[in-house]
Amino acid sequence: MRREKPADSPDAYVAALDGWRRETVETLRAAVLAAGALEERIKWGHIVCFSNGPVLLIRAEEARVLFGFWRGKRLREIEPRLKPGGKYEMATMVYVEGDPVDAAVAGRLAREAIRLNVEIGDPTRSS
């Protein structure tokens, strides 16, 4: 598998995308950045947003876009398509070509995830 150099910035990450993946990432990114104070970085090769620890990720792959939350298991009441898995309380949802993005729901998820990190703390340091 050929490894590509990660993007230098979130803007560069988005600029390297095209088609439906770019549209999906742009919509998700705009919704979450409008939701509250987040520090956006490229980490692990994709966009990760932080507020008192990691809050969410947006990762474009060849055939899908992942939208994940470190405290996603607690957010399933807002969005039942979040599928639990991995470390911490991680849950992700998958977008494929043709899937609509509800920016209002994405923003609500981000706001609640930020609130949880403020209230509970950094999810990577929780026991």
Of all residues in the chain, what percent carry a pLDDT higher than 70? 95
Question: Is the pLDDT assigned to residue 77 strictly greater than 80?
Answer: yes
The per-residue pLDDT for 62 is 94
Residue type, 67: F
Query: pLDDT confidence of 100, banded at 50, 70, 90?
Result: very high
Give the Cα separation of 113 and 74 in Å (integer). Answer: 9
pTM of the entire structure? 0.92
Question: Is the pLDDT assigned to residue 3 strictly greater than 90?
Answer: no
